Structures are given as structure tokens and as C-alpha cells.
Amino acid sequence: MSAYQHNKTLAATLALVKRRSGQVNSKTELLQLLDKLGGLPQPIRYQHLPLWLCSAGLVAGALSCIWLYHYLVELTWLPAIGWTLLGLSLLPLLVIGWRYASLKKLSRQLYWHNALLDNQLQLLRPGQWPDSRSWQQQFAEFDRGNHKREFKQILAGHYAGDEHQFDYHYWHFHYVDRRTVSRANGKGTRTEYTHYDRYGLMLPFSYVQSLFICSFAPKGFSGEKYQSDSGRFNKIFNVRAREQMQAARFLKPAVVVALEDLAGQLSQLNLEFSADGVLCISFANADLLDARPPCGLEQLSRFRQSIEQATALPKLQQTLAGMHQLMRHSDSNF
């Protein structure tokens, strides 16, 4: 098979895999999709020799033009041609780089999709999102950014613990602050935009209401102040509640210690319990759903093996286990 034919077949198969990867609903379907790549010559990679030769030829042509201009003929348009050929020689290299990056991106995309399946998570399309506007009204957490506020991504999941199970949403919130600053030379002003991201989980939590445990305060942070018995906890968190008694009942020693530990894993951690029994936990860590494949699609059989095994999202599981622990300590055993 010629390099052109090989690359054409590979590109078509990869495009098919990429298109269908978003519709995969089970591990079996994902493995079947990978089997489509199994029929291609291994290892899976583009044949770039013609592009390397093309690039080398163009560089040689460019150097020849410059050499001719200096030593043989003094034609004024020769350098222009030389520079053009040199510029054109970059195009095959860009194609090589783009193909390499897209293959790597597809590997990561498939592996991430596999991690979502293994952790009972479903990526929601914007049309399937819960009412994020009501979230913004319900929780002070989203009272950030004077220029722009938007949700970038929402996933739905389910957690089954020993004593409690619950559905939850994982969200990624992006906000932008705008401010006007004076120019360094003192002539006029300019507008600066600063982008921020927050991540979090939304889950039902009926054991406590109207309580905000906060290490990264938003604008609408208010209520009666409460301090726990732990000096360390008080250094990390500020607590506000509609009634102090709510906070005192909820913040048992085991809960305080669990939150201290959770704050060690998640930076800028906030827990906001709404008046109608929903918990919004938020933090600055972007890597809760991070899943990196041990190898790329080039090593298809090894990649397939890694897909066959269960992929853990340890940070997400630790956070969910932490929430389960809070539920366990807040419910009644009798």
C-alpha cells in the first residue's frame, strides 16, 4: 500500500473513531470501536517519509536559490523565491506535527471517555444540563466575576456508598473580572480582563440547611459566624450559618477533621448547603477528572489492555467518599 493510500485509510478510520467515540455508552462499544483500528497495519502511525522528503527538497531548493544569487547569477527575484521555498518547507512539518498531536488528542479523548464509563459519569450536552441559572440564584458560590459567568462543562454521576447513595453533577464554572487600570505612562486607561475557573459537585444533602463553610469567599458570603473547637479548622475555614445551632449540630469532631483533611487535598475549598437541601462543594482543582493513558494509540494492544482495566479517578472518588462520610455523620442511626 502506498504511503498516500495508507495515510488516507488511517485518517478516515481515525475520523470515524473520533466521531463515534462521543456516542459510546458502554465499555464493549468502546472496545469494538478500537477493534476498527486493529485492522490497520501496526503500529498505528502515519507514513511521513514523503512529507519529510518534500520538506527537505524545498529547503534544498531554497538554499540553491540563495547560493545561485550569491555566486552565479545576480537575479533580484531569486532571494524572494528562496525565502518562499523555505516558508513552504515548513508546511509539511506543520502537517506532521498536526497529525501527531491529533493522534495523541484522540488517545486521551478515548481514555477519558473510558474513565467516565468506569466511574458512572455521563458528559451532558448543554441541552441536557440542569437549570444552571437557578444554581446561580441559589448559591453565593457563583456570585463571582463582574464581566462574565458561564458553565463550561457539566457531567452527571452516581455514587453508591455503604450507607448512602446519591446522584450528583460535576461542574466547571468560568468567570471573568473586568477592571480599568491606568497606563504606565499615565496617559489614559485600559481595561483588563482576568479569567478564573472553579470546579465542583452538586448533590442532595438534606441533613443541614443554610450553611456556608468557606475558604475562598465569594461576594454574597453572609450569615451568623460560627467557630469550631479546632484552631486548625478555624484557620482554614470561615463558617456562616442562618442559625449558629445548625452549624454546631453539623460540625461534629469527625466532620471537622474530615473537612480539614479534604482541604488538604482540594485548594480553595467551599461547601455551601442551600436552604432546600442541596450541597454545592467547590474548589480550584481542575484535575478531579484527569485520566492520562499509559501509552498512545500507536501501541494499540497496550492501549486496549489499559481500556479493559478499570480506570480510577482517585481525587473524585476521595471527594465523593468525603461527602459520604459527612452524610454518615449527619444522619440518625436510630
**Least gap, CB of 285 to another protein (angstroms):** 24
Binding another protein by CB under 8 A: which of 226, 233, 283, 303?
233
Asked if residue 256 binds another protein (CB under 8 A), the reply is: yes
**Checking DSSP bridges between strand 189-204 and strand 224-226, what pairing results, if any?**
unpaired
Asked if residue 253 binds another protein (CB under 8 A), the reply is: yes
Asked if residue 326 binds another protein (CB under 8 A), the reply is: no
In angstroms and rounded to an integer, the radius of gyration of the C-alpha atoms of the chain is 28
Q: Which stretch binds another protein (CB under 8 A): 107-115, 210-218, 222-230, 265-273?
A: 222-230
Binding another protein by CB under 8 A: which of 148, 152, 219, 232?
232
**Least gap, CB of 211 to another protein (angstroms):** 19
**Least gap, CB of 255 to another protein (angstroms):** 8
**Least gap, CB of 234 to another protein (angstroms):** 9
**Least gap, CB of 163 to another protein (angstroms):** 8
- Cβ neighbours, 10 Å, residue 208: 20
Total site size for another protein, rule CB under 8 A = 18
Alpha helix positions (H), the chain: 3-21, 27-38, 49-71, 78-88, 90-118, 132-138, 231-236, 244-250, 253-265, 300-308, 314-330
Q: Is there a contact between 104 and 304 (Cβ–Cβ < 8 Å)?
A: no
In order of 30, 109, 189, 282, the CA distances from 121 in angstroms are: 15, 14, 47, 18
Asked if residue 283 binds another protein (CB under 8 A), the reply is: no
Asked if residue 244 binds another protein (CB under 8 A), the reply is: no
What CA–CA distance (Å, rounded) separates 122 from 156?
5
